[in-house]
Amino acid sequence: MDKISYFKLQAKNLCRDFKTQKLDSDGIYYYSPRFFEDIEDLIGYCDIDENSFGLMKAQHLVAFLAGFDKWSDLIHASDDGLELGKLLFEHRHQYGGMIREDWDMYIRSNGLQDLAEESKLEIFKLVFLDT
């Protein structure tokens, strides 16, 4: 599966899990996810409107978790950028929080914003994944 297809599938799976939404007698939504066991954490962390969620919002959330500001940035990213995004997405809860925040802070604090995606990918693997 190519990397773009991977992210499209993740967005569709997030929508599928969101559709398991049920409202309890206290007016609180709960979910029965198959793909995103952390769906309730994501909804809270990303301040998702539980009354208005569809594929476009799922795509935006997947792109955000993969380190992109929006879905179109993900779609137009380099192969190295997509590989880094996939790692950010798959390890999103490493260190007990959202790894995207830690990564963004690391990049900013070390002045690496303009570094090539290939180099960022290698740094991420070394610093965050110990590989």
What confidence tens digit (pLDDT) does each residue in 32-46 have? 999 999 998 888 888
Q: Answer whether residue 58 shows pLDDT above 90.
A: yes
State the Cα–Cα distance between residues 88 and 86, nearest whole angstrom.
Answer: 5
Looking at residue 95, its pLDDT comes to: 61
Cβ atoms of 120 and 127 within 8 Å: the answer is no
Looking at residue 96, its pLDDT comes to: 60
Q: Answer whether residue 56 shows pLDDT above 80.
A: yes
Task: Give the C-alpha distances (Å, rounded to integers) separating 54 from 8, 48, 72.
Answer: 13, 11, 17
State the Cα–Cα distance between residues 41 and 121, nearest whole angstrom.
Answer: 26
- pLDDT tens-digit profile of 77-111? 999 999 999 999 999 887 666 788 999 999 999 99
Find the mean pLDDT for residues 5-11. 97
Looking at residue 94, its pLDDT comes to: 76
Cβ atoms of 3 and 83 within 8 Å: the answer is yes
Taking Cα atoms as reference points, which of 131, 73, 127 lies closest to residue 95?
Answer: 127
Q: Answer whether residue 69 shows pLDDT above 80.
A: yes
| Global model pTM greater than 0.95 | no
Residue 58 neighbours by CB under 8 Å, 6+ apart = 11, 12, 14, 15, 18
Looking at residue 93, its pLDDT comes to: 81
Q: Answer whether residue 1 shows pLDDT above 90.
A: no
